Chain A
Amino acid sequence: MNSPVSAPKSNRVVLMFVAMLAVGSVAPFLVYPTLLMKLLCFALFACAFNLLLGYAGLLSFGHAAFLGGSAYITGYLCRDLGLTPELGVLAGGVFSGLMGALFGWVAIRRAGIYFAMITLGLAQLVFFLAMQMKFTGGEDGMQGIPRGMLFGVVDLSDNIAMYFFVFAVFMAGFWLVYRTIHSPFGQILKAIRDNEARATSLGYDVAKFKLLAFVISASLAGVAGSTKALVFQLASLADVHWHTSGQVVLMTLMGGLGTVLGPVVGAITLIGLENMLADKVGSWVTVIMGGLFVVCVLVFRRGLVGELNAVLQRNGLNR
């Protein structure tokens, strides 16, 4: 079997990573770092989500549970038990992975539309737990999470230091998703997405692959949530709300389903838009989000990156 990545393409991939590193390193000196950190957290969240929907064809409408759940866990570990931030984030990822295994184990019994409804229900379960449990702070959220000292050495209360930590986490997550997609495992996921019956008949244990994809996705979404909790020093019910689950669907759809860079572009666009519009249109943001959903589904299903790829391909620039 040939490697799925041909030689000229791999050059382009190196170029992509180098460009991302360059842009990411310069960005905090040009743009407000807190906004950038928010962008990166949501970009990682969307990448994790895209791994599931774009490559395994599973629409989870409950990914907020992983983002928000891990935010609480990391908050608790770092604030009340005094863990260092890198361990807090790691623990958040592990926690989400376990939760993902449990969710996946239940939800994978049904496909398609039911899968979406089940994940939504499970996430709502987590939402109510977060609302009722003592340690989450209920309606007030969990406040005053310390950013702490990275490895016990680097003080993350400095915004630039925090930014580079977040950027490193994002790049590691992005690279992991990239590697997963382009591995034989990723090829099998795509096969399942395109024709599940055929993948089964080829001897693949489809349920196992779906579950593993779900766990990886959940765990990365958790890492994004943990990081976000450290950045904003807050974990709140908004992070576990179904609204957030919908938001990540929109980001991925808008950027381009099943494209490597789509979710990143989608997250930057949507969060950037929200940030720009927040003080101008106030609470109309929800309406605009809904409108974008409708437009994306009706006329823009390939998303920004998908459309760009299509244009490049038409002009013979790609491949």
Chain B
Amino acid sequence: MEIFGVPSPAFFGQLLLGLINGSFYAVLSLGLAVIFGLLNIINFAHGAQYMLGAFAALLGLNWLGINYWLALVLSPLVVGAVAVLIERTMLRHLYKLDHLYGLLLTFGLALIAEGVFKNFFGVSGEAYEAPELLQGGVHLGFMFLPLYRGWVVVAALSVCALVWYVVERTSLGATLRAATQRPDLVQALGINVPVLVTATYATGAALAAFAGVLAAPIQQVNPVMGSNLIIVVFAVVVIGGMGSILGSIVTGLGLGIVEGLTKVFYPEASAVVIFLIMVLVLLVKPAGLFGKQA
């Protein structure tokens, strides 16, 4: 069977790969959007936190024998704890300044994290084996689906759905949204906004770490895995706009798929297609697909 002249296993294989990348874009851009909403800071360290999540899983396995499922919970907690520290000791002092300083500080932190891990582990990286339960795959007739890849998409999208539910449908989410708009008023109503801010930053970082653990068995765990990804995620954020949670998820997934399809039909352009779409969107709708003009 062929689709537009491409053998169907190859076509669906790339589509699945696109869907996986798209899930990562969705989780990461979601975290960026939540952090930006409350802290007004673009977290350049997001890629580093994703990388740290993957390394926490790898080192946890190698040194302490922590298995994948446990790592899926522990890694985000560890990275989240580091994020609390960062927010409390550094980011906190920047809220009154120009937003750009937050970007520069987190950029510096990302360089430190990347540099330290490069020194100890080199750039080539190490493989992390998928859990036994998810090894192998199933034949779907039109393609072969490796179980682990299917799981990544399901897990990432479930987390996205969970975040959407918490932010849009719970009272905690309502408080968060209120604090995004008027932190002073929310504080006056007796809610501890500084704690909320810390928790938000930690959650965003934990989301990135969770994505990192999910990615660990698919790609080599290496110190630069995050920085390459984060630049694409920035473009995703520009395309989607950071106005809505659902918007981030849809944009992330959609762009992953577009990228996957580009790999099928015009592989040379697959590395740049998202940046080209960014340019197009800026020309047509500068605020982004789901954004409000600031």
A residues neighboring B (CB under 8 Å): 59, 106-107, 109-114, 116-118, 120-122, 124-125, 128-129, 132, 242, 246, 249, 253, 283-287, 289-294, 296-298, 301
* A279 shortest CB reach to chain B, Å: 16
The 6 closest A-B pairs by CB, nearest first: A293-B108, A290-B111, A286-B115, A290-B112, A287-B115, A109-B286
Query: Counting CB contacts under 8 A, is B6 at the interface?
Result: no
Min CB distance, A192 to chain B, in Å?
A: 14
A110 to B291, CA, bound (A): 12
Task: For the complex, give the distance between the alpha carbons of A287 and B278 in Å.
Answer: 31
Q: Which residues of B, 102-144, contact A by the 8 Å Cβ criterion?
A: 103-105, 107-116, 118-119
Main secondary structure of the interface of B (DSSP, over half): helix
- With the chains together, A236 CA to B116 CA distance in Å? 25
- Is there an interface contact between A284 and B101, defined as CB atoms closer than 8 Å? no
B94: contacting residue among A112, A120, A297, CB under 8 A: A297
> B147-155, B159-167, B234-242, B245-253: which one contacts chain A?
B234-242
Question: What's the interface size class on B, roughly?
Answer: 35 or more
Q: Given the interface contacts A110-B286, A249-B104, does A284 sit within 8 Å of B278 by beta carbon?
A: no
Given A106-B283, A116-B100, A284-B119; A294-B275 close (CB under 8 Å): no
Closest Cβ of chain B to A277, distance in Å, is 13
Q: State the B residues within 8 Å of A (CB).
A: 36, 42, 90, 93-94, 97, 99-101, 103-105, 107-116, 118-119, 227, 231-232, 234-235, 237-238, 268, 271-272, 275-276, 278-279, 282-283, 286-287, 294
Specify the main secondary structure of chain A where it touches its partner: helix
- In the complex, the chain B residue whose C-beta lies closest to that of A121 is B235
| A284, A292, A294 — most chain B CB neighbours (10 Å) | A294
Determine if B100 and A292 form an interchain contact, defined as CB atoms under 8 angstroms apart. no
* Chain B residues, CB < 8 A from A293: 104-105, 107-108, 111
CB distance from B61 to the nearest CB of A (A): 25
Question: Could you tell me if B42 and A283 are in contact, using CB atoms closer than 8 angstroms?
Answer: no
Determine whether the beta carbon of A287 is less than 8 Å from that of B282: no
Q: Write 26 A-B pairs (CB below 8 A) sorted by A numbering.
A: A59-B100, A107-B282, A110-B282, A110-B286, A113-B36, A113-B42, A116-B100, A117-B237, A121-B231, A125-B272, A128-B271, A129-B272, A242-B227, A283-B118, A285-B115, A286-B112, A286-B118, A287-B111, A289-B108, A290-B114, A291-B108, A293-B104, A296-B104, A297-B94, A298-B93, A298-B105
Is the Cβ of B279 less than 8 Å from the Cβ of A106?
yes
Which chain A residue shows the least CB distance to B241? Answer: A114
A297–B101 CB distance below 8 A: yes
User: Bound state CA distance, A121 and B271, in angstroms?
Assistant: 12
Q: Are A294 and B90 within 8 A (Cβ)?
A: yes
Contact A59 B275 (CB under 8 A): no
CA distance A289 to B91 in the complex (A): 18
Tell me if B111 and A109 are in contact (CB < 8 A).
no
Q: Chain B residue with minimal CB distance to A292? A: B108
**Cα distance, A278 to B90, chains bound together (Å):** 28
Residues of B within 8 A of A242 (CB): 227, 231
Find chain A residues with CB under 8 A from B275 CB: 121-122, 124-125, 128
User: Would A121 and B238 count as touching, CB distance under 8 A?
Assistant: yes
Residues in B with CB closer than 8 Å to A117 are: 42, 234-235, 237-238
B223 to chain A, nearest CB (A): 10
- A125 proximity list for chain B (CB < 8 A): 272, 275-276
Q: Which residue of B lies closest to A116 (CB)?
A: B103
B103–A113 touching, CB < 8 Å: yes
Tell me, in angstroms, the Cα distance from A208 to B123 when the chains sit together.
Answer: 43
If A106-B282, A106-B283, A283-B119 touch, does A301 touch B271 (CB 8 Å cutoff)? Answer: no
Once bound together, how far apart are the Cα atoms of A290 and B114, in whole Å?
A: 9
Q: Apart from A120-B231, A121-B235, A294-B112, what 10 extra A-B contacts exist at CB < 8 Å?
A: A109-B282, A114-B294, A117-B235, A120-B234, A125-B272, A128-B271, A129-B272, A249-B104, A286-B114, A294-B109
In the complex, which residues of chain A have a beta carbon less than 8 angstroms from the beta carbon of B271? 128, 132
Contact B99 A283 (CB under 8 A): no
Instruction: Give the Cβ gap from B52 to chain A, nearest Cβ, in Å.
Output: 14
Chain B nearest CB, measured from A110 CB (Å)? 6
Query: Beyond A118-B282, A121-B231, is A287–B101 a contact (Cβ under 8 Å)?
Result: no
Give chain A nearest CB distance to B19 CB in angstroms: 22
Residues of A within 8 A of B97 (CB): 301
Bound-state CA distance A124–B93 (Å) is: 31
Q: Are the CB atoms of B119 and A287 closer together than 8 Å?
A: yes
Taken together as a complex, chains A and B put the C-alpha atoms of A128 and B274 apart, in Å, by 12
Contacts of B276 in A (CB 8 A): 125
Query: Cβ of B110: which chain A residues have Cβ within 8 Å of it?
Result: 290
Query: Are B111 and A289 in contact (CB-based, < 8 A)?
Result: yes
Residues of A near B283 (CB, < 8 A) are 106, 109
Q: Judging by beta carbons under 8 Å apart, are A297 and B108 in contact?
A: yes
B3 to nearest A CB, angstroms?
26
